[in-house]
Structure formats: C-alpha cells, structure tokens
Amino acid sequence: MSRTIPSQQAPLETRSSGLEDEEVDITPPVDAFEELVRMAVEKDPSLAPLAEQHLRSKKVTAASSMLGPSLAALPNQSKPAWLRQRAPQGEVFSGLKSQLRDLKLATVCEEAQCPNIGECWNGEMATATIMLLGDTCTRGCRFCAVNTARTPPPPDPDEPVNTAEAVASWGVGYVVLTSVDRDDMPDGGSEHFARTVRTLKQLRPGILVECLTPDFRGDLDAVRHLARSGLDVYAHNVETVDRLQRRVRDPRAGYRQTLDVLRAAKECGVYTKSSIMLGLGETDDEVIDTMLDLKAVGVDIFTLGQYLQPTPKHLPVSEFVTPEKFEYWRKFGQEEIGFRYVASGPMVRSSYKAGEFFLHSMIESDRAAVRERAAQDRLQQQQQQQQ
C-alpha cells in the first residue's frame, strides 16, 4: 500500500475582512455532499430526480449565525475560507424545530453546535439526529460542547415512545438516534436505545435506523443487545488517532475499547460506521493506521471532518486541513483501504445528510440483491425438483 501523501496546500485565497457578510466563492474542487449524491445515483439511477432537487437546494448562500456560535465567533482561530456555514432557515427547519420543542426532544445537531444544521434539516430528505437520554453527559471529552455532570437527571421513560411516534410521523426514510454517555445507568442506556428502535420499526417497518452510540463502558453484552434490536447501522466514533485518545477523550473512553465495540456490533450482522476529527495534531501515518484498524474490525462506513474548538475551555485547533487533503483521504479510504464509502470534508460530521442519502441507497441496493439471489435459488430448486 502506497503512503505517498500530499502535503497541505496553501489556503484558498479569500478577502481579508468581512468574510461573514460577503459573497465569496469558496467552493472546494470536490464537494463531499455532491460526491456522495453522485455515488448514490450511480448505485440507484431512480434517485436522480431527488438528487437533482437536493443539489439545487444546496446552492444557498447565507452567513448569519446558526444555533450555537458562528464560525467567526469560535475562539482564538483565524478560519480559512472553506469553513463558512449556512444559516438555518426554511419552513421544514422551522417546523421540525417546533415539533422537537413540543415533544421535549433534544438533537445533537443543536447540542454539539453542528455547522450543517441548516442543510440537514431542510429538503424532502430532512434529517435530524435525535439525542436520547437527555442533554447532559457523564463524561468530559475535551472536544465536545455538550453539557456534563456526574449525575444527570434520570431519563424520561416515555422518551422511546415519544421519539418513535414523532419520527414515524415525519415520513422520512432514514433517521439517526444518538445519545450522551450515561455511565450512571447500569446498561449505559442500551435498552433505552433498543426500545426506541423496536417501537419505531413497529410503527414504520420500512424506515432505516442508525444508532450513533456511546461505548456503554465497554459492556459488549449491552452493545450486542442494541445491535440485535432491529437497527440497520451501528455507529460508534473513534474520534481521533490512538496516540491522542487520552488528550482528546474522557479517560473512560479508549481506542481499543472503541474497536471492541465496533467488532461486537459487526458480528451481529449490522452495518458499522465510525468517524475521526482531523486538526488535533495527528500525523498522516496515524490516520492511515486508524483506517486500517477500523477496517480490520469490519467497519463499512468511515467519515472524516475538521475539528473546531467550541469554546476557549476546549482543545485548540492544531491545523485547518484543506479541502484537497480531505479529498485525498476520501479516495484513499475507498480505493486503498476498501471502506464501502468514505465521507471526507471540512464540514462533514458523523451524522451528515449526504452520508445518510448514500447509506439509504446502499442498504436498499444490498437488500434487493439478497432478495434477487434468494428468488434465483428458489427458481433453481423448483427446476431441479421438476427434473
């Protein structure tokens, strides 16, 4: 395997002042969303009309602040031009936000100050990553803006049913469920997740469900319990390379523990997914080693995004990785490592509408192929019996 890796290229040229208020052409050579939509259409040409609609709606320029701090307000950083966000707007965004508030549902989109909230919450394939088990985490990772406490309030026992009923009413084809870490609960919240999945599948059997989970303190029985609940994609993030784990993540997390979680989930027959942030001081060889380790435990889907420091109390950014370098990692992960697909870009996050668009197509295509093979086997058996 070749390890000839391009160095960071010079930042794209931008105007030196007023970036947030000016219309500056900062489109990178390859856009992660457009690339994944193209891949989805190649796999399933019937998606072409929907894809064209998404690509048209994506070309919206806006630079006012989103829920959470604007990129311009992030501390102690001079941001390059490609890190410009879109303001959340639109009827779908407003309606979804209102419904979530009425049902007292939290989203990681808001809690973690995700820069893609305006894009993901709009359009016919609007997606929101629902955060179960409350909005307060028992851990204190140095990259994360979610609230923390040793003893968060107890989870709402009605949340699995409320969440499932709300999501079922939206009519979406793909949903992501995630949660804070709940080390105060005996199973880390595994059954809470599983009950949400089971209820949702009962209400909408055709919906595809991804769960982006904590590590359940390394309890692999809890991992298997959730993986066998009927979900389609089991996601758990390694976050960074092995050497930086203790600097970036809470000491109760860990590189090997994450690999064990992903291996156990994969052995239950689900698709698996993981993600790392770049710009924390990792080396290129360490990124490659991380990819190899994740592939070795069966990970199907891999995403890479730029780390952004949410507050002055969190880790500073070591490097702003260029769109060209992210594109290199996308190709490397797919062509050299062999992941089913890689989403890689400065604004890519683990839960990202472009990735969900492609995953929906990939899973449906795989299942159609299985059904076709089963039908061919039955036909062959019938022919043999007739002979």
**Looking at residue 51, what is its pLDDT?**
60
The span from the CA of 5 to the CA of 22, in Å, is 34
- pLDDT, mean of residues 65-73: 37
* Residue 55, pLDDT score: 54
Q: Is the pLDDT of residue 193 over 70?
A: yes
Residue with tokens 């009962």: 202
**pLDDT confidence of 169, banded at 50, 70, 90?**
confident
Instruction: Tell me which residue of 123, 115, 109 sits closest to 55, measured CA to CA.
Output: 123
Rounded to an integer, the average pLDDT of 229-246 is 96
Per-residue confidence (pLDDT) for residue 16, from 0 to 100: 32
Sequence-distant (6+) residues with CB within 8 A of 272 are 233, 234, 235, 236, 262, 265, 266, 297, 298, 299, 300, 301
34 bridge partner residues: none
Q: Tell me what pLDDT residue 3 has.
A: 63
Averaged confidence pLDDT in the chain = 77
Nearest to 298 by CA among 236, 249, 246, 352: 236
Query: Do the annotations mark residue 229 as ligand-binding?
Result: no
- Cα(55)–Cα(40) distance, rounded to whole angstroms? 13
* Residues 119 and 54 sit within 8 Å (Cβ to Cβ): no
Residue 107 backbone dihedrals phi, psi, to 5 degrees: -120, 140
Output the pLDDT for position 361: 75
pLDDT tier at 385, thresholds 50, 70, 90: confident
Domains of the chain by start residue, with CATH: 82-370 (3.20.20.70)
- Binding site annotation covers 351? yes
- Which one of 59-63, 66-70, 254-258, 361-365 scores highest in mean pLDDT? 254-258
User: Can you give the pLDDT at residue 181?
Assistant: 96
Q: Is the pTM of this model over 0.75?
A: no
Per-residue pLDDT tens over the stretch 10-44: 433 333 333 333 333 333 344 444 555 565 666 66
Compute the chain's Rg from CA coordinates.
Answer: 21
C-alpha–C-alpha distance, residues 256 and 300, integer Å = 18
Whether residue 344 is annotated as binding a ligand: the answer is no
Segment 351-368 shows an average pLDDT of 69
Least confident range of 128-132, 147-151, 209-213, 299-303: 128-132
Give Cα 375 to chain centroid, integer Å: 34
Q: What is the pLDDT of residue 65?
A: 22
Q: Is the pLDDT at 243 greater than 80, yes or no?
A: yes
β-partners of residue 131 are 106, 178
- Name the more confident of 324 and 208: 324
- pLDDT of residue 89 exceeding 90, the answer is no
Alpha-carbon separation of residue 373 from 208, 300, 310, 377, 378 (angstroms): 22, 22, 49, 6, 9
- Confirm or deny that 120 is annotated as ligand binding: yes
| 211 is an annotated ligand-binding site residue | no
Length of the chain: 387
Question: In the 8-state DSSP scheme, what is residue 315?
Answer: P
Cβ-count burial 314-343 (b if 16+ within 10 Å, e if not): bbebeebbbbebbbbbbebbbeebebbbbb
Top pLDDT among 138 and 350 is at 138
Give the whole-angstrom CA distance, residue 281 versus residue 315. Answer: 11
Residue with tokens 């419904």: 99
Cα–Cα distance, 248 to 173 (Å, whole number): 34
Residue 296 has pLDDT above 50, yes or no: yes
